[in-house]
Structure 1
Amino acid sequence: MKHFSLSKAVFMAASLALLGLTVANAQEKFSPVIVIHGGTSGLDLTKEEFKIREEPMKKALLAGQAVLEKGGSAMDAVTAAIMVLEDDPNFNAGKGAVFTSDGFNELDASIMDGSTKKAGAVAMARHIKNPILGARLVMDKTWHTLVAGEGADKLAKENGLEMVDQKYFFTQFRYDALQKAKEKQKLLLDSEKAKKTSLNLHERPYLGTVGAIALDKNGNLAAATSTGGMTNKMTGRIGDSPIIGSGTYADNDSVAVSCTGTGDIYMRV
């Protein structure tokens, strides 16, 4: 089982998945691989902040590896890894989701099977404890690809997924980040104050989107992504994470990718 550094960027995750498939074809056998990411925030975390996220990332990686080592599918492996990170408040997915400008937590997630090209996604979900399970539900139980808002929550509830109240997603440091973001917006309206204040408007706006890609023993690729979006985003905003072909993609003939960053730009290019 190949085990890669936790701090790899998304482009490295994509290239590793492609490399794993190419080498496997040359040897006529497949060595399972899983790669995960915890968002672009790793680029500017302090050592202390990284340490807090390192343990859950190891736990997530091991969860995915355990599935592959038992001969499980790439789909099950990426699902298992993502769920671990969604349950950890230090990542911007599930439990640790950021707040919209109106004070809500709206979650997006997607998953894709490289062997069948089937995919599923949810967006603007407010009550699904593990949005990645909602995404997989869309893929497995409907003929749609993306279900959003109340429809996503209703589908999840009707199919027995664990549902939670909005307060489950509350974390103080995410709430504080929202207040800071709102204050910076106010300062922008006063040019004199703005000149005297350091306005890093993109200070950790998407801290901790999570993703995973995997190659199983049968040569099948899978990719999955989960996020709460960007701090202070408009209520109802949907980024790249639940968009197949933008934030998530998997194809056995080419590559598996899970993206992280400013989704509004990703979707344009």
Structure 2
Amino acid sequence: MTGNDHRTEKRLSIQSAVLPFLGSREEDYQPFQYIIQDFSQNGVRIAIPAWVQSRERLYQDDQVNLHLPYKFKGQSRNQGQIAWEKWEDDLDSQICGIALNKSFPETYPVFIALDTREVVIDLARFSTPEKLLLLVLKDCVLLKRGMLIYLNHLTAYFTRLTEFKREEYTLFRLNVINDIKLGLEKNLEYLNKTYLAAMAMGSDHEEILGRLDIDELRKSIESELYIDLFSSVLSLESANRYLRALKTLEKKSYNNYNTMVMLYLQNL
């Protein structure tokens, strides 16, 4: 590694990645926490321990998104299919083998290099580590704010197009949509406070990372909206397209969360 590499790249062994990342099942967008156990150039083995708060049972052939770039020979993949799964009593975990099969351009220069088996944080495009961290936090705020704006538009859209009687839709809005909106507002407030607090700390990225509550960040980023509930009640394909667009914003938020976890791990 050259001297320039030392300045622009930070690396840590995958064995140091002991905190859970966020993944999601493609069929229903359901998020789950997982720990990386091992990987090769074609796949990843993960564990879903019984102790994680966002636990989801996965099955063979499920399509999942790990929301984390796995890079090999310049190509990044983060999506794949469950090739096999089993329960291991000694780990109190479900173990899954995932065949990675979809590529995408990563949002941030933070990825897992499959050839060197390391987490790589490339700072070549950032003057300081905190610039990258602040950008990720700001993006989390913007995505959550965008979801809240989107939901407000959808509420009016549903009012015009739903086949419900007016009083039925009023109940649905009060009991379901308003709860989702309150959740979004609460999580947006937390993310915005976290971002502003990080901004106030200035150029000390270690202090910013040291004060981050990773578990609270995960709770604020995870989904407030369950698409199956809307799909079963509002059987409108046009509405479902909007809901899926909201879920796309959530996926970007999960990517951001996993980036912050890797930055956090690098600081330990």
Query: Where is the helix percentage greater, Structure 1 or Structure 2?
Result: 2
**TM-score normalised per structure 1:** 0.28
Which structure has more RCO (C-alpha within 8 Å, separation ≥ 6)? 1
Larger Rg: 2
Going by fraction, where is strand more abundant, 1 or 2?
2
TM-score by length of 2: 0.28
